[in-house]
Structure 1
Amino acid sequence: MDDQSRLLRGGPRDAPQRHQSLQAAISWSYELLTPDERRLFRSLAVFRGGFALESAEAVGSGDTLDILDGLTSLVDKSLLRRVTAPDRSARFLMLETIREYGVEQLAAAGELDDAKTRHAGHLASLSEQAEEALGTAEEEGWLHRLWRDTENLRSAIDWSLRSSGHTSARLACGLGWLFYLHGHLTEGRARLGQILQAASNVDDYLRARVVLPAGVLAWSVGEWDQARTWLEQSLELFRLHGDARREAMATAFVGHVARSTGEFEEASKRYQTALSIYRGLGNDWGIAWALFDLGLAARDRGNDDEALALHEQSLALFRKQGYRWGTAWALWNLGVLAHRRGDDVRARDRFAESLALYRGLDDRRGIAQSLEGLAAVIFVAGRLREAARVLSAADALRAGLGAPVALSDRREYDRTLEGVKASMAVDEFEREWTSGRSLEADEAIQLALDAAQPPPPRLRLRQKPRDPLTSRERQVAALIVRGLSNREIATKLSIAERTAISHVEHIMNKLGLHSRAQIAAWAVRHGLDLPTES
């Protein structure tokens, strides 16, 4: 603000009066306005990051002035700039120096509090409508609408936390989901926590609509006890108020908390309950998510065939609805399963399609996890430098969002990362990791897609008689590259888990290795791979 004020006071002494300073230039334009246009200009200064026509109509104050005529006059006098959004809708921007001048005039006229109250109330209405649209064909459009007004929403929350707990709760309804779906988990968790403290006296139903996304965000950042408390609270309140759709949503997320803490049977039970509720409602969106969640639980138990069938069902439903976010998630999980089964051509295609969808949705967390999936494919192909850079770029995206890898996905992620590290000299890995941190998201995406292309056919030499590993041990080593646990290897090869453990121990002893990551690195160097499953 000080820097902006110095700019306002600057200007050459020999310039015409209206140009001696930016302050004078803005004041000159302001004085050309009619009284109604001045009131409109002042009230629009509460917006940060621009606004749409409907927002100007809701917040602007100009008595008898037609809002569109007023906006046109402000644009003509260079106090506003009109831009066209990607969806071809009109949006209006005010330079920060001009906005600050408008706020000063707003305060001087004694209108600041009223304007901020109208602004927060309007944003709260938009947020509630976005939350209501969850699970409908309008969801994506509403969330996009909110995303364009993120700066306005932040400003409205800051104001309402000091002035109205009720308004801040209304703002949180949709904003919490916006932060979750766009991957801004740390900020979302902090803001909803603040709002819940400020909105302690709101009615139970409104509180439930805040507590649910607050619990979702707490789960997303690993605060499982707090998440469980909030989600169970929302579940009971929605049940009490007869809101079956939101009850099912809360039930599913309680299942996610159980899954994150290793309570797989409890998670499956919650997902089944959610599925029953959604089927009773005839809600295809909810049915698709419940099938997806049951697929996650099956994957956790090592039942990849069951997981594959469930994820294929959820993908078909998401595609039928044209629901891009659910489609991206289902494709990503199908990529994970294809990679585990040794079908890296299919895995690459699934990860690439999910990546394109996440990119279109501007979901940077989703972009990161798709990059990590492609990095696993790149590692198995033996392209170690590229794998390190892609993993680093994904890590940088997550760090910027405060969105760590989910615990349920951590094992396979860690095995890929440790396998890459074990396959490279320390200085080489650090060099590539540093290089990856400097990549822009689009550069990382292109690198990952290029590096994950199927490698040229390798000339497989006949196995030498003195190969250190048996045929079964080579199978086990190839499965370790894919990130499978001992139990999953046992299931895959139809052997006892103790036998799988014994094979892993024999591999380490024969090769002089000390970790599964080293086994994975050895297997990649020696071209071990799995036959693709049909």
Structure 2
Amino acid sequence: MEVLGPLRLVVDGAPVDVPGPKRRAVLALLALAEGRIVPVDHLLDALWPTEVPESGRQALHTHVSRLRAHLGTAAARLQTRHDGYRLDLTADELDVAGARSLLAKARADHDAFALLREAHALWRGPVLADLTDVTRIATAVEGCAQLRREITDGLIAAGIAAGRGDEVCGLAADALAADPLREPAVLLCMRALAAAGRAAEALRTAREFRRRLVEETGLDPSPALGELERDIAGGAAGPPPARPEVQARPTTRLVGRDDEVTALHRLLADERLVTIVGPGGVGKTRVALEVAGRTDASTVLLLAPVTDPAAIPHALAAALNLNVLQGDVLTACVAVLAHRAGLLVIDNCEHLLDAVRDTVEAVLAGCPDLSVLATSRERLGLAAEYTFRLAPLPLPGPDQDLPGVPSVAVFLDRAARARPGPPPTPAELRTVADIVRRLDGMPLAIELAAGRLSTFSLIDLHRRLDRSLDLLGGGRPTADARHRTLRATVEWSYDLLTDDERRLFRQLSVFVDGVDLETAERVGTEMGLRPDPGTALAHLVDASMIDVAFDGATRYRMLETLRAYGLDRLAEAGEDEAAGERFVRWAVELADWIGTVLGTENEADADTVLRRDLPNLRAAWRLARSRGLLDAATAMVTALNEAMSYRDLVELRGWAEELGDDPAIAAHPNAAAVLGTAAEAAYLWGDHPRAERLARAGLERATDATGKWFCLIPLAWVELARAAYPEVVEHCLAATVLARRAPEAIGGAALASAYAGDADEARALIERAHGGGTSPSQRSWIAYVSGEIESRAGHNDLAERHYLSAIELARRSGATFLVGVATVGLLTVRAAAGRVGDALRGYREVIDYFARTGNWTHLWATLRDLAGLLRTLGDDGPAALLVAAAADAPDAPAAVPPPPLVPGTPVLDRTELLEVARRAIQRNLQAVANDSAPTHAV
């Protein structure tokens, strides 16, 4: 492939014509990728930059197909990947890659002249001139121009050094004519002329450049020009200069940022000022340097070492290699930049915002062909500014190819440098994945962590990450002291905040999973921030100390590294005690709100808040327990009783049981409610004896209606599991007069009556409950009980309608437990109606659900129902195993009537039994699909 001129495809030594601009553009883009995959979306955007037509993908596919035909014997080189296309080319098969390779060899080889002459000869004319209306190709063409300039300058210098100045004079003159204000081109031309014995002409070239520079820019040349004039006048041209305009290049490859770099190039084609913002350590500088490296005529101004705002113009002059001896320095810099079409990168602006803002305004006003790319932890605040927020690297998700995840790939790349060795094992990759998750995908933190593998093993590193701010530090000092440690990087941003902003940042760090706007403003108000806490919050977001997401509800979060720093500063300021009390108080109030709203029509809203803020509630619960705040812990557990009962939030059960076991609870005024909630948790875990003990102990201490209700309901469920139906009715009816969730209690009495065979009484009871069900889950419970009543009465069609209603209401409200039990009833009536496939698929899902949530009481009932279906299908072996295990299980509810046991059937452990059930379901599903009898086996 040849791109250094008109596009040219050569197959088996013969050129091949590729017709059509779009097909040629596709081929060019694939070639310029140099063996990398080009995503389909990138190709579509390149071919149709304004709007991709509906037929765009098909058209692209057609172009690729025809390109394979053009490739002939090399068609296999054009590969289709899951996310794009790749043209497999080696370095010697692509002229631009060959040119780059020759340049690299020349820098390390004594015979540089021959190598660079070969590289220079690869250009056959204007690069891809007919395709530069494609933005991505135009960007690549600019890169080719920069490469050619480097090769040309190197060739001229090598020719002079080799005593062949006369051979490169014409080349030097052409290079100067192409860019007459580029001083390095002038110096090379003068050296070439001097080396060729044309000293007078060399000095005349210098004089003409001085005059041209003054007339067009008002500037004087650098001292290097005068020194070279003196050398030539004295008969010595001096050594060839170092390659001009070389910026410091990153020492490691950029991983996982191709999309961002491409997006920035696209933005800079239309925007004059783009600011990359993000927290310290997210990789803003590295991305900006990559953009600069892929851009022709870029200048990089590094502000990290600059502390005096007045020094910015002088730093810019140094970056431009400009020596300003008199007059305004910034004016001189703008005059030089005004004649350049390219990019100015200004890195690390956050500590000099006002001065940078003034500098950028002057540059934009005086340099119409120049774009500015800034990096900062907050935006500059100019009207022309486009803010590009750089996020941390993507984190690994389930079932991903871990080495291909950018955050993991960065760790592996840096780890290989710190400790070379064999590729990581699958177990080590999983450990790496957890490390990068805990480091928030922050490139700096990941690189520092990987570097620590020179000292720690991977497991040791993983175990010590709870103190990542201190662990990821030390080492040898660097030019930029801020980047010696992760802590120093965070501290840099913290020190730029105002006192009020620091205080709010510290106080919000106790929230482990962020807050909504109302909570953040409430915390600020309680702290006494004036006049408006929202202003401080907004600047924390602008300064990249807090991130904001607008997915559904607005949410403010800190990266874990920033939160850890905030907690340290909170303790250092002596504010941790008060902040902790405020946090626990917030959690108690939130739990109370959730518990109240769960009993209303707005239950779904409360469910959303509960699941969203569960990490914060968990942290507050642990803090309350560690500080012995019994009142707060009691309030949280009892408020979330209904959430625990109807949802699969199993950790709430653990809180209830933990508090129920606390000896201090016996003397607490709310002991009965706590013990009743703990009894409900024990029942859901299948520990019926413990549930009964806790419930009866609570009844003995109950002094109010709430405490009695909390104990009577789990006691009724224990009796229901024993098939003691009269006792269930007694407990539930006693609970109905206590004015708390009466529909649930009445429904329990109706359920027991139905199981006892009294359908009329059951219907009468459930009718009483209909008027009291205000929340969706309460109405779901009533519908479920109605379905059970009609199912037992043999009215399967009516029962199915009730079950479907129960499932719909439960799903709407997040009551996953009710979805599970209603689904079991629905499967029973569908199986009875001969809808075997539907029933089997449903059993597979609900068995997995109950197993996942640890609810074996209802799982045993489900497995018994499945056994009944398997028997009707003639699959007696698995059915017998399920029935035998359920009969032997202490947490299985009583079956009325009990299913028949097959003598001699072994009792499997629970893991084996679930496998038996799943295999039987799959086998019978296949048989149903094949409309044939199953092959019965255990």
Q: TM-score range by the shorter chain?
A: 0.5 to 0.7
Say yes or no: does 1:48 pair with 2:512. yes
Q: Which runs of structure 2 are paired with 1:92-491 in the superposition (5 Å)?
A: 92-131=556-595, 135=599, 142=606, 144-166=608-630, 167-185=632-650, 187-198=651-662, 200=664, 203-238=667-702, 240=703, 243-275=704-736, 277-278=737-738, 283=739, 286-318=741-773, 321=774, 323-406=775-858, 411=861, 413-422=862-871
Q: Which residue of 2 aligns with 1:79?
A: 545
SS at match of 2:834: coil
Identity of aligned residues (%): 26
Answer 1 or 2: higher relative contact order, Cα 8 Å, separation at least 6: 1
Change (3 A) 1:404 1:347: same
Q: How far apart in 2 are the matches of 1:425 and 1:8?
A: 63
Output one character per residue of 1:256-280: Cα deviation in whole Å (capped at 9) or x when no partner. Answer: 22222332222222223223x24xx
Please give the TM-score of this superposition, normalised by the length of structure 1. Answer: 0.68
SS at match of 2:556: strand
Q: Is residue 493–residue 545 contact of structure 2 (8 Å, CA) maintained in 1?
A: yes
Q: Is residue 49–residue 93 contact of structure 1 (8 Å, CA) maintained in 2?
A: yes
Letter in 1 for 2:504: L
5+ long unaligned stretches in structure 2: 1-433, 449-476, 880-894, 901-919, 929-938
Q: How far apart in 2 are the matches of 1:246 and 1:135?
A: 18
Output one character per residue of 1:161-210: Cα deviation in whole Å (capped at 9) or x when no partner. Answer: 2212423223322234422231334x333222222344616753232332
Q: How far apart in 1 are the matches of 2:547 and 2:763?
A: 51
Output one character per residue of 1:125-169: Cα deviation in whole Å (capped at 9) or x when no partner. Answer: 332454466756676655553333211111112222221242322
Q: Is residue 328–residue 354 contact of structure 1 (8 Å, CA) maintained in 2?
A: yes
SS at match of 2:511: coil
Letter in 2 for 1:191: W
Q: How far apart in 2 are the matches of 1:137 and 1:203?
A: 36
5+ long unaligned stretches in structure 1: 431-483, 489-500, 502-516, 526-534
SS at match of 2:657: helix
Q: How far apart in 2 are the matches of 1:237 and 1:9?
A: 54
Letter in 2 for 1:393: E
Change (3 A) 1:331 1:10: closer
Is the deviation greater in 60-69 or in 301-310?
A: 60-69
SS at match of 1:155: helix
SS at match of 1:47: coil
Greater C-alpha Rg? 2
Q: How far apart in 2 are the matches of 1:157 and 1:45?
A: 16
Q: Is residue 14–residue 20 contact of structure 1 (8 Å, CA) maintained in 2?
A: yes
Deviation at 1:328, TM superposition (A): 0.6
Q: How far apart in 2 are the matches of 1:375 and 1:203?
A: 47
Q: How far apart in 1 are the matches of 2:897 and 2:673?
A: 42
RMSD (Å) for aligned C-alpha atoms: 3.9
Deviation at 1:96, TM superposition (A): 2.9
Q: How far apart in 1 are the matches of 2:752 and 2:489?
A: 64
Is the deviation greater in 203-212 or in 419-428?
A: 419-428
Deviation at 1:40, TM superposition (A): 1.0
Change (3 A) 1:109 1:214: same
Please give the TM-score of this superposition, normalised by the length of structure 2. Answer: 0.40
Say yes or no: does 1:32 pair with 2:32. no
Q: Is residue 11–residue 20 contact of structure 1 (8 Å, CA) maintained in 2?
A: no
Q: Is residue 784–residue 802 contact of structure 2 (8 Å, CA) maintained in 1?
A: yes
SS at match of 1:406: helix
Deviation at 1:387, TM superposition (A): 2.2
Q: Is residue 9–residue 23 contact of structure 1 (8 Å, CA) maintained in 2?
A: no
Q: Of 533, 541, 544, which residue of structure 2 is paired with 1:67?
A: 533
Q: Which residue of 2 aligns with 1:458?
A: none
Q: How far apart in 2 are the matches of 1:128 and 1:202?
A: 22
Q: Is residue 183–residue 403 contact of structure 1 (8 Å, CA) maintained in 2?
A: no
Q: Is residue 189–residue 217 contact of structure 1 (8 Å, CA) maintained in 2?
A: yes
Deviation at 1:27, TM superposition (A): 3.9
Q: How far apart in 2 are the matches of 1:381 and 1:20?
A: 71
Change (3 A) 1:197 1:236: closer
Bigger helix share: 1
Q: Is residue 42–residue 103 contact of structure 1 (8 Å, CA) maintained in 2?
A: yes
SS at match of 1:270: helix
Output one character per residue of 1:385-435: Cα deviation in whole Å (capped at 9) or x when no partner. Answer: 44222211111122222223438xx55x344301333355879999xxxxx
Deviation at 1:58, TM superposition (A): 5.1
Letter in 2 for 1:294: A
Letter in 2 for 1:272: L
Change (3 A) 1:78 1:343: farther
Q: Which residue of 1 aligns with 2:193?
A: none
Change (3 A) 1:338 1:143: same
Q: How far apart in 2 are the matches of 1:202 and 1:67?
A: 43
Change (3 A) 1:429 1:95: farther
Change (3 A) 1:405 1:227: closer
Change (3 A) 1:22 1:423: farther
Q: How far apart in 2 are the matches of 1:202 and 1:82?
A: 44
Deviation at 1:295, TM superposition (A): 0.5
Q: Is residue 372–residue 391 contact of structure 1 (8 Å, CA) maintained in 2?
A: yes
Letter in 2 for 1:30: Y
Output one character per residue of 1:230-270: Cα deviation in whole Å (capped at 9) or x when no partner. Answer: 223333433x3xx3344344334322222223322222222
Output one character per residue of 1:355-382: Cα deviation in whole Å (capped at 9) or x when no partner. Answer: 1111112222222223323322332343
Is the deviation greater in 361-370 or in 142-151?
A: 142-151
Q: Is residue 675–residue 711 contact of structure 2 (8 Å, CA) maintained in 1?
A: no
Output one character per residue of 1:464-491: Cα deviation in whole Å (capped at 9) or x when no partner. Answer: xxxxxxxxxxxxxxxxxxxx95699xxx
Q: How far apart in 1 are the matches of 2:765 and 2:551?
A: 38
Q: How far apart in 1 are the matches of 2:641 and 2:694?
A: 13
Output one character per residue of 1:485-531: Cα deviation in whole Å (capped at 9) or x when no partner. Answer: 5699xxxxxxxxxxxx9xxxxxxxxxxxxxxx9xxx9xxx9xxxxxx
Change (3 A) 1:96 1:425: farther
Q: How far apart in 1 are the matches of 2:503 and 2:844?
A: 51
Q: Which residue of 2 aligns with 1:437?
A: none
Deviation at 1:41, TM superposition (A): 0.9
Deviation at 1:32, TM superposition (A): 2.5
Letter in 2 for 1:192: A
SS at match of 2:648: coil
Letter in 1 for 2:649: H
Q: Which residue of 1 aligns with 2:371?
A: none
Q: How far apart in 1 are the matches of 2:447 and 2:680?
A: 52
Deviation at 1:44, TM superposition (A): 0.9
Q: Is residue 657–residue 681 contact of structure 2 (8 Å, CA) maintained in 1?
A: no
SS at match of 2:548: strand
Q: How far apart in 2 are the matches of 1:293 and 1:143?
A: 23
Change (3 A) 1:370 1:201: closer
Change (3 A) 1:314 1:63: closer
Letter in 2 for 1:266: E
Q: How far apart in 2 are the matches of 1:64 and 1:164?
A: 30
Q: Is residue 831–residue 869 contact of structure 2 (8 Å, CA) maintained in 1?
A: yes
Q: Is residue 51–residue 92 contact of structure 1 (8 Å, CA) maintained in 2?
A: yes
Change (3 A) 1:19 1:375: farther
Q: Is residue 751–residue 788 contact of structure 2 (8 Å, CA) maintained in 1?
A: no
Change (3 A) 1:198 1:354: same
SS at match of 2:799: helix
